[in-house]
Amino acid sequence: MQTVRPAADLQSALNVMGFVQADPIRAPARAQDLTLMQRVRGYRAGDLERLYPTLDAEEDMIPNYGFVPRHVQALLHPRVVASTRIEGEHPALLDDVRAVLSERGELHPRELVALLGKRTATTYWGGQGTATTRALDALHYRGEARIVRREGGVRVYGVAPHLSVLRETPLPEHERLRRVIHLLAALYGPLPQASLGYLVSLSGFGLPHLRQELRAAFRHAVRAELNAAKVDGVAYVWAPERDLADVAEARGVRIVNPFDPLVWDRRRFEHLHGWAYRFEAYTPPAKRVMGYYALPVFHGDRAVGWANLKVEGGELHAELGYAPGVRQTATLCRGLDAELNRYRAFLGLGASAADQT
C-alpha cells in the first residue's frame, strides 16, 4: 500500500517500499527516478544511480527488475536456475567469466569483451547481443555476481560474498515465500486478489525452482494471513503489516510514472478511477491514444488524466490529456503548474511557465 508521502532520505524510502521497479526509458527520466521523486524530499534525477554504492541496496528481480534493500534480496536467494540459452550457445563462457570476475573483483562489460573477445548471443527478444554481457547477466541472476555501480547507465558487475553466505545458510523456505507474498501485498495493495495472484505467478521468475510452493503459499496467505474486503463485488487483499487508517489524504496534483505502485495494477486503476490507462511505449505510433510514455495525473486521490513530458532546448514541455468528465478547474491548473515546476527542479531545469497543450 504505497502513497506519495515523502521520506526523509533515499534509504528510508527504499526500506519502506521494499522494491522500486526500473525501466531504461527516459521520458523525461527513468521510471525508478520518477517513482522516488514522489517519495524522497529533494530527490533529483540520477540520485539513485549516484548514491547506489553507498546504499543498503541491490539490483534484482521481484517480480520485475529493479532495486531492493538487502534484507529483501535475502528472500530471493539462493536460486536454482536451469541451464540458460547463453550456456547452450557458448558452453564454456560462464566458467571463463566466473574466473575473470573472481580474479578482478569487478568488471565493466567493455573490459570483459577486451579480455575474452567479442562474441554474440541470442537475447530474450530473439535479437543479437554481446555474449560476455549476457554471461554477466546470467551470473547476476544466479546470485554469483552483483551490480556494484553504474557508469553512464551501464552496469558494472562485482563479486557477491553476501549472496555466497545465503547459499550456505539460506532462510527457511516457508519464511522466504511468506515474506515475498507479504512484500508484494504491502507494495501494491490493497489490490484485487486476482492481481496479487498474477504478481505471485510472475515472481516465479524470481524464484523459478519454488513456483509451485509459492502458489501454495499464496493460497494459504489469502485464507489465513492477508486482510481482505469486497468492493463492488471485487475481492481485495492487502498486507496486515500496513494500516489503512494510517494513509494520509492525498492533496494537490501528482504526475506519476507507468510503473509506480499507485498505477501498476491496471485492473485496480480502472475499477477505482472509472477509466482505462494504457502504457503505449511499445504500441505502434498510429495506434497510440495517450502517447508514447503517458504519465498518469492525480488530483488528490483521483486519477484525472495523463501527461507526456519531454525536455527540449532546456525547457520542460507537457502535453496533457484528461479523462472523460474531468473539468479543468482553476485549482487543477494551479496544481499542474506547481507539479511541473517540481519536475523542473527534479530535472535540474529552471522554473518557468508551463507549456501545456
Domain-wise residue ranges, the chain: 85-168, 170-248, 253-356
Torsion, Cα of 52, 4, 239, 195 (10° steps):
-90
Q: 305 and 321 in contact (C-beta within 8 Å)?
A: yes
**pLDDT given for residue 121 in this prediction:** 81
**Which residues are 149's β-sheet partners?**
156
Residue 75 exposed, middle or buried by CB count within 10 Å (0-12, 13-18, 19+):
buried
Is the CB of residue 228 less than 8 Å from the CB of residue 235? Answer: yes
Adjacent-strand bridge partners of 22: none
Q: Give the model's pLDDT for residue 353.
A: 45
Q: Residue-wise pLDDT tens for the chain (357 aa)?
A: 455 678 899 999 999 999 999 999 999 999 999 999 999 999 999 999 999 999 999 999 988 999 999 999 999 999 888 888 888 889 999 999 999 999 999 999 999 999 999 888 877 666 778 999 999 999 999 999 999 999 988 999 999 999 999 989 989 999 999 999 999 999 999 999 999 999 888 877 677 788 889 989 999 999 999 999 999 999 999 999 776 666 556 789 999 999 999 999 999 999 999 999 999 999 999 999 999 999 999 999 999 999 999 999 999 999 999 999 999 999 999 999 999 999 999 999 976 544 444
pLDDT value, residue 85: 86
Predicted confidence at residue 248, as pLDDT, reads 59
CATH class of residue range 85-168: mainly alpha
Angle subtended at Cα 179 by Cα 176 and Cα 183, rounded to the nearest 5 degrees: 135
CA 245 from chain centre, in angstroms, equals: 26
pTM: 0.92
Between CA 38 and CA 41 the distance in angstroms is 8
Among 206, 214, 225, 54, residue whose Cα is nearest residue 143: 206
Q: Compute the distance between CA of residue 337 and CA of residue 356 in angstroms, rounded to an integer.
A: 9
Place of cell 552483483: 146
- The neighbouring-strand residues paired with 7 are 40
Map the chain to HEC letters: CCCCCCECCHHHHHHHHCCEECCCCCCCCCHHHHHHHCCECCCCCCHHHHHHHHCCCEEEECCCEEEECHHHHCCCCCCCCCCCHHHHHCCCHHHHHHHHHHHHCEECHHHHHHHHCCCEEECCCCCEEEHHHHHHHHHHHHCCCEEEEEECCEEEEECCHHHHHHHHCCCCHHHHHHHHHHHHHHHHCCEEHHHHHHHHHHHCCCCHHHHHHHHHHHHHHHHHCCEEEEECCEEEEECCCCCHHHCCCCCCEEECCCCCCCCCCHHHHHHHHCCCCCCCCCCCHHHCCCCCCCEEEEECCEEEEEEEEEEECCEEEEEEEECCCCCCCHHHHHHHHHHHHHHHHHHCCCCCCCEEC
Sequence letter at residue 198: Y
| 63 cis-preceded (ω within 30 degrees of 0) | yes
Q: What is the pLDDT of residue 155?
A: 96
